[in-house]
Amino acid sequence: MQTAISKQGVAVVVIPGDVALSDAVNPERRVNFSYVRSDVTPRPEELERLATELNKAQKVTILAGAGCAGAHDELVALAGKLQAPIVHAIRGKEFIEYDNPYDVGMTGLLGFSSGYHAMMNCDTLLMLGTDFPYQQFYPKKARIVQIDLRQEQLGRRSRLDLGVVGGIAETLRALLPAIGQKRHRAHLDASLKHYREARKGLDDLATGKPGQVPIHPQYVAKVLNEVAAEDAVFTVDVGTPVIWAARYLTMNGKRRLLARSITGPWPMLCRRLLERRSLIPAARSSRSPAMAASPC
């Protein structure tokens, strides 16, 4: 339980059958604990190296993941100073996509061309709180800088020129004063233009007509996105449902997107979803389709 809470993931507890069927001797909890993450900020000399790397770069692209939860404002402010497009991973979508003028979508097997080219055309890739696994989608010639709270993640997925341990929000707050304002927007503007074109191509696929059979799954996802509540919690299994969720569900800072990749088997995911619904009053209303795309 402590591992599941501290790592915000899944833990498995195996209990022998005879023990599980026995009466609890002591109904009181033996251990009471809660999870409170402490701020972790790099040392001043590490922040200086980060600033040097980013200030000298001409074309920065940011790859952001779930580690950016709670760091939306800091991330957007950094992208504004660096004139950097932001590519997000699937787990970072709910924290990064909304109210973000620098977002250019995703890359990888679930993404689309704008995110891919934004990464391949940069001279410096800044990875923030992401464990993006597909090595073939990383740039071959760019310098790669990574910030992550978990030291074991540094350099795990790609070669690395500079790795720093720190929480994303607090590290960016400490780093921002040392970052100079870049003036040249060519890389950013090209990435945003590519994103608009790619987005239009995807939206053109999500069309339907009354009585049309079969119904395109893109259209189903688009309609689901339109009718779902502002605080809906979406769950997706493996396979093509993940693709449609990644491309057609819009996050707004209130919605959640839970994937099986971090929640374990469906029973665990359903229980986690129901627990979240109990914390969101609007989600308990019959008018709020908080449980979407889930077989639970």
Q: Are residues 223 and 176 in the same domain?
A: no
Q: Are residues 87 and 138 in the same domain?
A: yes
Asked whether residue 1 is assigned to any structural domain, the reply reads no
Asked whether residue 229 is assigned to any structural domain, the reply reads yes
Residue of 85, 92, 90 lying closest to 123 (CA atoms): 85
Asked whether residue 97 is assigned to any structural domain, the reply reads yes
Q: Are residues 258 and 189 in the same domain?
A: no
Where a domain ends, among 142, 176, 199?
199
How many other CB atoms sit within 10 Å of the CB of residue 45? 8
Q: Are residues 259 and 182 in the same domain?
A: no
Q: Are residues 191 and 119 in the same domain?
A: yes
> Which range of residues forms the domain containing residue 219?
208-292
189: tokens are 């503007």
Can you give the CATH number for the domain in which 246 is found? 3.40.50.970
Q: What is the pTM of this model?
A: 0.81
Asked whether residue 69 is assigned to any structural domain, the reply reads yes
Q: How far apart are the first and last CA of the chain?
A: 23
Q: Are residues 59 and 185 in the same domain?
A: yes
What integer pLDDT is reported at residue 128 of this predicted model? Answer: 97
CB–CB of 121/187 below 8 Å?
yes
**The tokens 């833990």 sit on which residue?**
11
Domains in the chain, number: 2
CB–CB of 91/259 below 8 Å?
yes
Asked whether residue 23 is assigned to any structural domain, the reply reads no
Q: Are residues 244 and 166 in the same domain?
A: no
What integer pLDDT is reported at residue 260 of this predicted model? Answer: 64
Q: Are residues 193 and 56 in the same domain?
A: yes
What integer pLDDT is reported at residue 250 of this predicted model? Answer: 92
Asked whether residue 109 is assigned to any structural domain, the reply reads yes
Where a domain ends, among 199, 230, 250?
199
What integer pLDDT is reported at residue 265 of this predicted model? Answer: 55
Where a domain ends, among 199, 223, 255?
199
Asked whether residue 168 is assigned to any structural domain, the reply reads yes
Q: Are residues 187 and 216 in the same domain?
A: no
Burial class (CB in 10 A: 0-12, 13-18, 19+), 146: buried
What is the rounded CA–CA span in Å between residue 205 and residue 288? 27
Q: Which residues of the chain have pLDDT under 70?
A: 1, 8, 29-35, 260-296
CB–CB of 4/10 below 8 Å?
yes
Asked whether residue 101 is assigned to any structural domain, the reply reads yes
Q: Are residues 155 and 287 in the same domain?
A: no
What HEC string does the chain produce?
CHHHHHHCCCCCCCCCHHHHCCCCCCCCCCCCCCCCCCCCCCCHHHHHHHHHHHHHCCCEEEEECHHHCCCHHHHHHHHHHHCCCEEECHHHHHHHCCCCCCECCCCCCCCCHHHHHHHHCCCEEEEECCCCCCHHHCCCCCEEEEEECCHHHCCCCCCCCEEEECCHHHHHHHHHHHCCCCCCCHHHHHHHHHHHHHHHHHHHHCCCCCCCCCCCHHHHHHHHHHHCCCCCEEEECCCHHHHHHHHHCCCCCCCEEEEHHHCCCHHHHHHHHHHHHHHCHHHHCCCCCCEECCCC
Can you give the CATH number for the domain in which 147 is found? 3.40.50.1220
Q: Are residues 140 and 276 in the same domain?
A: no
Distances (CA, A) of 51 to 98, 104, 178: 26, 24, 6
Q: Are residues 78 and 152 in the same domain?
A: yes
